[in-house]
């Protein structure tokens, strides 16, 4: 009986030794998964299991770096705090062709724009957004017949009074002009559109274009018309969007910019020079300017 017990003991001892030796010889990767160790717990009162993952330091570090990059990435400006209300409209000219539309912002400031639409409206064509230079107001485009020429060609036309001009409030808090224009376009839904910017109006127009690209809204921009721009739009960035540059023959800015344009191969840019005109070529020869603008727009749309 003692001999039998001794045999059983030896067999158990040998089995334990074999198991221990097997554990020692196992590769370390099979013992523990170094990337993630998982345990399972049962939530009290629940019949479901919750996986708790223990992540190595390099994984945690990578996730923190990714979160930091996401935090620093520029975000589209949020203008939802602006309370914009429609205040009314009225016929602006004697022909009852153009209306002035007023909007109230945050119950104190105002934005005014002139609007004219063809009848019937061709929804396949973009809005034409007309800015003005620092010495003028939106009404210049009505006075020069530009709005009528555009509407006769089938385009919905909007001429915006920039801050401090017309009935638009000065907006003392405007520090980023491009961002201000983005908010206006968002509030009034003037998309898609072609932007027309004369002279010093480019102080708003050029940063506005930059903002559209920065926040990935450039798809709303169909084309750009810059007339004697004091600040050149980002021509290379606009590619392949069609761009029209218009200068007066005797505009000093034309002689400045023509040298630069001759050095660049910009297939999307069209250059037009109005003979006999100076810097304010749209004002000096409006009939020629209106014809150039409409012809270029029609070529872009066909």
Is 244:270 a contact under the CB 8 Å cutoff? Answer: yes
111 in a structural domain: no
Confidence (pTM): 0.70
38 in a structural domain: no
pLDDT score for 108: 75
Residues spanned by the domain of 203: 121-153+176-300
Local structure of 111: helix, strand or coil: strand
Can you tell me the mean pLDDT for 12-38?
52
145 in a structural domain: yes
182 in a structural domain: yes
Radius of gyration of the chain (CA): 34
Alpha helices in 93-234 (DSSP H): 140-143, 146-152, 177-188, 202-214
Q: Give per-residue pLDDT as tens, 109-148.
A: 889 999 999 999 999 999 999 999 999 999 999 999 999 9
CATH number at residue 138: 3.40.50.1820
- 53-62, 119-128, 287-296, range with the lowest pLDDT: 53-62
Using CA atoms, how far residue 142 sits from 59, 91, 158, 248, 280, in Å, is 63, 12, 10, 21, 16
Domain count, the chain: 1
Local structure of 73: helix, strand or coil: coil
Question: 16: cis peptide before it, omega within 30°?
Answer: no
Return the ∠ at Cα 269 (arms to 267 and 202), rounded to 5°. Answer: 150
């Amino acid at each position: 009986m003692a001999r039998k017990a001794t045999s059983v003991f030896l067999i158990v001892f040998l089995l334990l030794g074999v198991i221990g030796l097997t554990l020692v010889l196992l590769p370390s990767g099979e013992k523990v998964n170094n990337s993630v160790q998982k345990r399972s717990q049962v939530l009290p009162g629940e019949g479901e299991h919750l996986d708790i993952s223990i992540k190595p330091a390099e994984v945690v570090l990578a996730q923190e770096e990714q979160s930091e990059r996401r935090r620093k990435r520029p975000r589209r400006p949020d203008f939802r705090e602006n309370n914009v209300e429609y205040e009314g409209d009225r016929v602006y000219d004697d022909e009852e062709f153009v209306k002035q539309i007023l909007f109230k912002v945050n119950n104190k400031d105002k934005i005014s724009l002139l609007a004219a639409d063809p009848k019937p409206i061709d929804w396949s064509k973009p809005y034409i957004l007309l800015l003005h230079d620092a010495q003028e107001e939106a009404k210049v485009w009505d006075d020069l017949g530009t709005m009528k020429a555009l509407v006769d060609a089938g385009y919905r036309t909007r001429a915006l009074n920039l801050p401090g001009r017309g009935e638009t409030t000065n907006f003392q808090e405007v520090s980023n002009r491009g961002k201000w224009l983005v908010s206006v376009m968002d509030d009034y839904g003037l998309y898609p559109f072609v932007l027309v910017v004369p002279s010093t109006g480019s102080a708003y127009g050029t940063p506005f274009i930059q903002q559209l690209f920065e926040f990935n809204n450039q798809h709303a921009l169909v084309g750009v018309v810059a007339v004697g721009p004091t600040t050149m739009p980002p021509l290379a960035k606009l590619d392949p969007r069609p761009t029209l540059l218009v200068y007066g023959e005797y505009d000093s800015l034309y002689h400045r910019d023509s040298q630069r344009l001759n050095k660049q191969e910009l297939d999307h840019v069209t250059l037009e020079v109005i003979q006999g005109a100076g810097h304010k070529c749209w004002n000096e020869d409006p009939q020629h300017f209106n014809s150039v603008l409409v012809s270029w727009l029609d070529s872009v749309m066909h």
